[in-house]
Amino acid sequence: MATSTATASTDVLADVARERACAEAREVVAMLEFRDRELVRIGREESPMRRLVERGAIALCIGEALGLSEGQVQLRLSQADRVRDQSPLTWLAFLRGRVDWARVREIAHTLGELKRAESVHRLDRGVVDYASTHTVAELRQWLRRFVRRVEADLAVERADAEREKRHVSITHGDDSMGWLNAYLPSHELAAIEARYRRAARTGVDPDDDRTVSQREADQLVAWCLGSDAATSAVDANIAVTVDADVLAGARAGFAESSDGRWGVPAAWVAAVAGSGSSFWHRVVVDPVTDDVLSHEYLGRFAPDVLDIALQFLHGTCQAPGCMVPAERCDTDHRIPYPHGPTRGDNLGPLCRRHHTHKGHRVLHWSTRSTLEHILRKALNEPVLMEYAG
């Protein structure tokens, strides 16, 4: 992955972030201690009504001291209780400043979704290393994938139940505008998004003064209203990864998007793929080495098939924390051409901004040892991003 060039000054920033996390931990601990002391005191009250009223006032007292609403206080207390009781390693990392409250909050939400004790223990063992080296957005996606993998059968049941709630609603607002809302399965939304994005950027009239967003909106309206624009087919490349045993039906599981934004039960995707739809591609990836295409291409520019395979493999820009989808990125040589070959293991997506940074040596490519990479893949552990100095 692409990594930033560390300098001595960034150590100061890291120290500040750690101090901020420790301060957040002290605040949350103080809230818990205040509540617990108050509960002990209130428990000695003789009047049941008095006990009920004073328990309800605890959140109000904490909120007044910290400038929070009662709802915010109650939510923070419940999240802190959940992490402290169910994920001791995460709680210890929070107290030491390794992870901040934003990450603890995401972990607490995931703990609330997990139903099995072994799943909770497994999360506690592995989440801190990932959370401490990735952004909150990346952690959120990692946690979603974790739930789908370790409790796939329960997650499939929830997804099937949610699918029954699909609907479309229209809300009229002010100034003659309104909202069109659709609650739909994620793979269908991804296909719709890919189609209108491509349609709005293809064959644009030079005299068309509409913005891209306006063209996207107009294209969607044209399809919904059944005008001539709806008759022109627009291809969309949708990438998902599915474990072989899940695809074979040996166990429950999910098809996950390459950029990590969504996942759906594998059976939903199998139904679409079997219907003759043309926007699905299948890329076979080696389960150990992660190799996609071992063939080496001559020349500087990768052919379309390799570009698509790399987009499906990586999902997003490979700069630290960047979430720009791979299809909007440049295909960059880790070892510059012609010294580096044009093949899968020497190429990766970088968004235009980070590609420029790499050209000015602000970013550079760095990889862990092959042995460590293989071991982590075999154990289904994340290959962590490395910051090179």
Highest mean pLDDT: which range of 124-133, 308-317, 324-333: 124-133
Sheet strands side by side (includes 254-257)? 240-241, 254-257, 263-265
Q: Position 75: which residue type?
A: L
Share of the chain above pLDDT 90, in %: 43
Mean pLDDT (whole number) for 361-386? 48
Single out the residue of 243, 251, 257 nearest to residue 187, CA to CA: 257
Who wins on pLDDT, 389 or 357? 357
pLDDT at 370: 38
Which range has the worst mean pLDDT, 184-193, 249-258, 284-293?
A: 284-293
Q: What is the DSSP-derived secondary structure letter of residue 66? A: H
- Angstrom CA distances, 116 to 119, 121, 129, 147, 152, stand at 5, 9, 22, 11, 12
Sequence-ordered strand ranges (E) for 160-278: 167-172, 178-183, 240-241, 254-257, 263-265
Instruction: Count CA within 13 A, CB hemisphere, residue 232.
Output: 13
Tally of CB atoms within 10 A around 196: 20
Tally of CB atoms within 10 A around 163: 14
Residues 6+ apart with CB under 8 A from 208: 215
- Structural tokens at position 329: 């990125």
Q: What is the DSSP-derived secondary structure letter of residue 345? A: G
Do residues 192 and 238 lie in contact, with contact meaning Cβ atoms separated by under 8 Å?
no
Which range has the worst mean pLDDT, 51-55, 145-149, 234-238?
A: 234-238
How confident is the model over 43-80, as pLDDT tens digits? 998 898 988 889 989 999 999 999 999 999 999 999 99
Tally of CB atoms within 10 A around 15: 11
Domain boundaries, the chain: 2-150, 160-280, 304-378
- Structural tokens at position 338: 């012609």
Cα–Cα distance for residue pair 320/323, rounded to 1 Å: 9
Tally of CB atoms within 10 A around 134: 19
